[in-house]
Amino acid sequence: MKKQFLSTLSVCGFSVITSHAVWAAPTTIASAPVAPVGTSQASASVFLPFVARVGDVAPLFNLPDSQGHSYGSRQQLGQRSLTLLLVGRNVTSAPVTSPAWPNYQEAIRALSRAASQRAEDDLATAVIFTNPQLLQTVAHDIGVLPNATALLDEKQTLQTVFGGSDDELTLVRIDRAGWVRGIETVADFASLESKMVPLVDFTSGVEVGKPAPNFSIQDTRGRWHQLAELRGRKNLLLTFFPKCFTGNCANHLSSIRDVQAQFDAQDTEVLAVSVDPAAGEHGQIAFAHKLGLKFPLIPDVNRNLSILYGAAYSPEQLASRMSFFVDKEGIVRWIDRQINVKTHGADVLAKMQQMKRDALPAS
């Protein structure tokens, strides 16, 4: 279980303050402006979390390409899964004329084959360097690959976030909803292609009878909720609503509030998700207080959970109203996309009873 402490952390020379008190919108870690060779300056930034692990939401970043144009990972949300290849500072420290250089050329060919195979699967690839001169040298080779780009991270911020090494290549796979699905080191360029395996993309559709996509996310009080931790212990009602302080959403959540004791009695946890921020006059904390809600609300500001479950398709959309019932084994048992906002809580309980009856052996 993750914990947050009120402290100041140093990330590649940047100070980051984290607090356990109240959930806040993602914090920016901004580097000093970097100037790729022969280009104008462009600012680079990476957003919290400080250390990302498989199953976490990936940190958002904006980094410059070889022309000094900013490339933002947020623009990929809902559109493409993203593969990052973090090139350690020492991996490509040899000059272009050295014997090590053919390995790099083989890496480009491997990337090309892998990217071409996955282009139709909406995969974006970003190769991230820490050396501006090397970026300029290879930018064209990478730029001609399908949905691929070369970026500069002189401060090695992403390498720190993903636990990379100066002496290794680090391959990071992020699904189109922005969740980290794989982090692994690659020994050398020659083995790169074998590691570029297709990513399991949960965002293609959540289905009844299939495992629910795992997640790890904070509620308005800063508490973490992980689907995997409920396995074997509790069911989950994951319900999405468009916006706080609207009549239909108030009715929707109030209908669950009114029967929450029955959900508790049947080992069912409730999580309510919208894209509203936690704080503020019209935020989730104020909304929950007004309605007297006891179950957690999830401020899905960047739409990671909403996109993962198909309640939204881009980082600009509100979440559509829908609910998912996940059993103790982590299997989706029911999806309600036609919610009656005034009776939803009772409707879910009735469906749970029906599923219990259907599971009984015939007499």
200-206: average pLDDT: 66
**Residues 6 or more apart whose Cβ sits within 8 Å of residue 256:** 237, 239, 263, 270, 272, 295, 344, 345, 348
Whether 338 has a pLDDT exceeding 60, the answer reads yes
Confidence (pLDDT) at 209: 94
Residues 170-189: tens digit of each pLDDT = 889 998 899 998 898 887 66
Of 74-83, 98-107, 186-195, 256-265, highest mean pLDDT: 256-265
Give whichever of 17-26, 50-59, 67-76, 328-337 has the largest mean pLDDT: 328-337
Q: Is the pLDDT of residue 148 over 70?
A: yes
Q: How do 332-336 and 70-72 pair as beta strands?
A: unpaired
Burial of 206 (0-12, 13-18, 19+ CB in 10 A): buried
pLDDT > 70 fraction of the chain, expressed in percent and rounded: 71
Q: What is the Cα–Cα distance from 70 to 45, expressed in whole angstroms?
A: 10
This prediction has a pTM of 0.76
CB 257 within 8 A of CB 346: no
Q: What is the pLDDT of residue 332?
A: 97
User: Tokens 């014997």 map to which residue?
Assistant: 99
The yes-or-no verdict on residue 268 having pLDDT over 90 is: yes
Q: In angstroms, rounded to a whole number, what is the distance separating the alpha carbons of residues 84 and 171?
A: 6
Average of per-residue pLDDT across 271-298: 97
Judge if the upstream peptide bond of residue 95 is cis by omega within 30 degrees of 0. no
Checking if the pLDDT of 316 tops 60, the result is yes
**Cβ-contact 321, 240 below 8 angstroms:** yes
- What pLDDT is recorded for position 96? 46
- The residues of the chain that CATH labels 3.40.30.10 are 30-202, 216-359
CA geometry: angle 310, 172, 221, nearest 5 deg = 55
Q: What is the mean pLDDT of residues 239-257?
A: 98
What local confidence, expressed as pLDDT, does residue 98 receive?
A: 47
Mean pLDDT of 94-120: 56
Average pLDDT, the chain: 79
> Is residue 130 a contact partner of residue 156, using CB atoms and an 8 Å limit?
yes
Binned at pLDDT 50, 70 and 90, residue 2 comes out as: very low
Mean pLDDT score, 331-342: 97
pLDDT band for position 165 (50/70/90)?
A: confident
- Residue 6's pLDDT band (cuts 50, 70, 90): very low
Q: Which CATH class is domain 216-359?
A: alpha beta
Say which residue the tokens 């004329």 belong to.
97
| Nearest by Cα to 328 from 357, 358, 356, 360 | 356
Who wins on pLDDT, 284 or 68?
A: 284
CB 228 within 8 A of CB 330: yes
Query: Looking at 27-41, 124-138, 333-347, which range is the least confident one?
Result: 27-41
Question: Is the model's pLDDT at 264 over the cut of 80?
Answer: yes
Among the residue ranges 109-113, 250-254, 298-302, the one predicted with the least confidence is: 109-113
- Catalytic positions, please? 249
How many whole angstroms from its chain centre is CA 138?
A: 29
* CA–CA separation, 154 and 89 (whole Å): 9
CATH code reported for the domain at 30-202:
3.40.30.10
Instruction: Indicate the Cα dihedral angle 345, 336, 284, 53, nearest 10°.
Output: 120
What is the distance between the terminal CA atoms of the chain, rounded to a whole angstrom? 44
Any bridge partners for residue 299, and if so which? 274
Looking at the chain, the number of H-run helices and the number of E-run strands are 10, 18
Is the pLDDT at 42 greater than 70? The verdict is no
Helix (H, G, I), strand (E, B) or coil at 166: coil
| 224-226 vs 332-336, strand pairing mode | unpaired
Pairwise pLDDT comparison (188 vs 242), residue with the higher score: 242
- Rg, C-alpha atoms of the chain: 23
Instruction: Give which of 72, 45, 69, 10 is closest to 153, Cα–Cα.
Output: 45
**Given the structure tokens 């609910």, which residue do they identify?**
323
The more confident residue out of 199 and 357 is 357
pLDDT interval class at 13 (50, 70, 90):
very low
Residue 172, SS3 per DSSP: strand
How many other β-carbons are positioned within 10 Å of the β-carbon of residue 222? 17
Confidence (pLDDT) at 21: 25
pLDDT at 36: 31
